[in-house]
């Protein structure tokens, strides 16, 4: 029962905010199944990736995913993540985690008090007729920078890129929150697919029963979260995201200091 409730909660949060799945799935599985990080991470990644896939297809059907932006950011993120893994062996993970947590707290504060988004100053503009981003050198460089930072942090800290991607897209584009979340889900799906392939090629054996239960619960939670977006005001969604970011930042600080 706990496994199902965890999956529903994580999937719902991912559907509502476009982030939070990976960093919460791993400790949830460790607590409920008594697993190590090495055992929990691939299962959590699979559940989050497949849930994000469902959210991606829904967003594509509704035409709110900016798929070119998602593909470009993912393309930059994947090699950056590999370099991040390399840097993780050089930089002290404790200080790195504390620094990242501080950045997350600042982001959460600014989102919570609505100090991030200013449509008039967005670097990447949306064509008001088509609803799509206007592609030029500024757009490509801005979105590429998001992919670079998200990928590096994913490789360095093992956290999902959604915590970087969502606030960054709010900062540099004038996309609405629903489009940002749907685009973030596609990026998570693309990057997660590559990571899952790596786990499979490395011979990881998924425990079928637990994996299927958790994956299905996450997908159902994702669908519930996506539906709930129609009932919850976008400002409330932003506050939910900010609260989640603060919670994860505190968790990372605790893990760094106690680990």
Owner of token pair 């529903």: 8
| Average pLDDT along the chain | 85
Q: How many helices (H) and strands (E) does the chain have?
A: 10, 0
CA dihedral 135, 136, 140, 146 (to 10 degrees): -80
User: Which domain, by its residues, includes 111?
Assistant: 2-258
Number of other residues whose CB lies within 10 A of the CB of residue 137: 7
How far, in Å, CA of 248 to CA of 93, rounded?
Answer: 16
Q: Per-residue pLDDT tens for 48-72? A: 999 999 999 999 999 999 999 999 9
The count of domains in the chain is: 1
Distance of CA 234 to CAs 178, 238, 248, Å? 8, 6, 21
Least confident span in 12-21, 105-114, 137-146: 105-114
pLDDT of residue 23 exceeding 80, the answer is: no
Number of other residues whose CB lies within 10 A of the CB of residue 199: 16
Give the residue with greater pLDDT, 122 vs 144.
144
Angle at 189 between CA 186 and CA 190, to 5 degrees: 90
Residue 220: which pLDDT band, with cuts at 50, 70 and 90?
A: very high
Under DSSP, the state recorded for 111 is H
Q: Per-residue pLDDT tens for 143-164? A: 999 999 888 877 776 666 787 8
The predicted model scores a pTM of 0.84
Q: State whether residue 192 is helix, strand or coil.
A: helix
What was the pLDDT predicted at 13? 86
Q: Per-residue pLDDT tens for 74-88? A: 999 988 888 877 776
């Amino acid at each position: 029962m706990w496994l199902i409730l965890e999956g529903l909660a994580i999937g719902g949060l991912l559907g509502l905010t476009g982030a939070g799945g990976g960093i919460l799935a791993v400790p949830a599985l460790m607590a409920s199944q008594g697993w190590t990080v090495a055992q929990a991470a691939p299962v959590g990644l699979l559940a989050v990736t497949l849930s994000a896939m469902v959210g991606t297809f829904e967003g594509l059907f509704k035409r709110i995913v900016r798929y070119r932006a998602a593909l470009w950011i993912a393309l930059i993120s994947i090699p950056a993540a590999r370099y991040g893994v390399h840097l993780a062996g050089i930089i002290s993970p404790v200080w790195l985690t504390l620094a990242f947590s501080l950045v997350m707290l600042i982001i959460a504060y600014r989102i919570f008090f609505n100090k991030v988004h200013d449509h008039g100053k967005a670097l990447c503009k949306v064509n008001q007729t088509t609803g799509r981003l206007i592609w030029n050198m500024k757009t490509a460089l801005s979105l590429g920078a998001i992919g670079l930072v998200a990928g590096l942090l994913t490789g360095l800290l093992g956290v999902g890129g959604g915590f970087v991607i969502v606030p960054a897209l709010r900062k540099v584009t004038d996309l609405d929150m629903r489009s940002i979340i749907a685009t973030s889900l596609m990026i998570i799906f693309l990057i997660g697919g590559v990571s899952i392939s790596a786990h499979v090629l490395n011979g990881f054996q998924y425990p079928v029963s637990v994996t299927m239960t958790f994956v299905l619960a996450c997908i159902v939670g994702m669908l519930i979260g996506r539906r709930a977006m129609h009932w919850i005001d976008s400002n409330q969604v932003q506050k939910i995201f900010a609260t989640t970011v603060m919670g994860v930042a505190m968790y990372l600080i605790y893990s760094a200091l106690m680990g």
